[in-house]
Structure 1
Amino acid sequence: MSETTHDGAAVFTRDDPHLGRFTVRPVDPDTDVPLLHRWLTHPKSSFWLMNGASEEDVDRMFRTTAASEHEHAYIGEWEGESRFLVELYDPAHTELKDAYTVRSGDVGMHFLVAPTDSPVSGFTRSVITTVMELVFTDPSADRVVVEPDVRNGPVHELNAAMGFHVDRTVFLSEMDKDAYLSFCSREQFAEATATDTTTGGERR
C-alpha cells in the first residue's frame, strides 16, 4: 500500500451521481475516538466484536494503527458528514498469513457503515464501491482480501456484488470467528461493476 499523509485532509474523493460526494480521510485519534467508540459499540456493529469496548480501548486501537506501517484507518464522509470507517492492512502481518499464501499486491480490508435509524437506499453499496476504488487507486494493489464472519449475510451479498469470490472458510483465533476468506482482483472488481453509472474517484 502507498503511504498517505495523516493530516486530516481528504486522500480520496468519489462522486456518486445518485448520492453525491464521498470523501475519505485518515482517522485522527485525537478527535475521532468518541465517534468511533459510539459506532463500534453499537449493537448493529456486533460483527466487529467490540460491543463491550471502552473509549480507552478504542483510543488505544486507533493510536496503534496510526503508528503502524502495515495498517491504515480512515473515516469516510458523505456530503461532509462522517458516515463510515475503513481499515486497510497488509495480510502478511496478520493471522491471515497462516491461512493462505499472501501475494505481493494483496490488501486486506474492513469497513463499517455507521449505524443509523434512517438508512438510505443504495448507501452501503456506494460505500463499499468507494472503498474498493480507494484501494485500487494505488497501482501496487492487485487484490483485495476480506474475511467476514460466516454469519454476516448482508456483507456476503455486497462482497459478491463487488466481484469477491469465496475461497474457503477459515477459523481466525484472534477474532474467535469462522470467516469466509474471499478475494477480489482489480479485474474482477472492474468486471463486476462495469454497468455501474458511478463516476470514478480521485486519490489526492
Structure 2
Amino acid sequence: MQKKSKTAAFTERGFAFGNIWKFYSFKAGKIVELRNDRQLAHWLLNIEFDSSIREFEIGKVERALDESKREKIYSFSAIVTPLLSPVEWHDIFLQQPQTGSVQWNECEEKRLLALKHKAIYRLYDDYSYFPRKQKIFPLLKVATLLSSGKNIAIPQQLIEKAHAHINDQQSGYIRDYLSVLNSFSTTTSLLYFSRLFASGEIQVEFDEAFFHMKTKWRKNDQ
C-alpha cells in the first residue's frame, strides 16, 4: 500500500513516491529541481511568481561564511535576491525548530550571520503556506504551462494586440483578453498571459482557479 505524503495537503498529489519536481523557471530562464512538495510550495508562493524577487537559488544552497574568524559551510533551502531589499536566506521546515534544540541553535547562528552580512534570514514551515494553500494548485498549472511552452515563439501580432489591450484597459478579465486575441489559439494566448504574470507585468487576482474566464488581472505599474 502506498504511503501518504506528509506534504500531499499542498499539491493533492497524495503519495510520497516521486516527489522530485522539475520545472522551467521563467524568472531564472532555466530548469529548477525542487526536492519535495514543501519546496515546490515555497517556490510557487514566495519566489517564482513574486514580482518583488529578481533572482534566486533553490535546493541545497551552500555558502562559505565566516563565523568566529573561520569559514564554515552553511546550507540553506533557498537564497533570493529581491529588487529593492537585502538578500534573503530561506530555510524550510515541517515545523519551527524547538527552542534549545540543535536545529534551533543552527538557525540562530544563521540569523546572527545574516545580520553581519546585511542579509535577512527567514524560516518557513507548513503554517507559513496553509493560509495560501488554495493558490498552490492554480500556480502549479501556470508553472506547467510555462514549462511545456518554454520553446514556443509567440507571434508578434499577438504580443502587440495583448499589450495594446493591457495598456488601454489597465485591468480586466481573462475572457476579455482572450476575446481580443480570438484569432489566435487559446493555449498560445494563455501562455503569453502566463509569461506576463511571471514577469510581473500584470498582477492576477485568483483563489482556486487561475485560468477561469472571470479571473481578474491588472497592469503592474512598478
Q: TM-score, normalised by structure 2?
A: 0.25
Structure with more helix by fraction:
2
Q: Which protein has greater RCO, CA pairs closer than 8 Å, 6+ apart? A: 1
Of structures 1 and 2, the larger Rg is shown by 2
Q: TM-score, normalised by structure 1?
A: 0.26
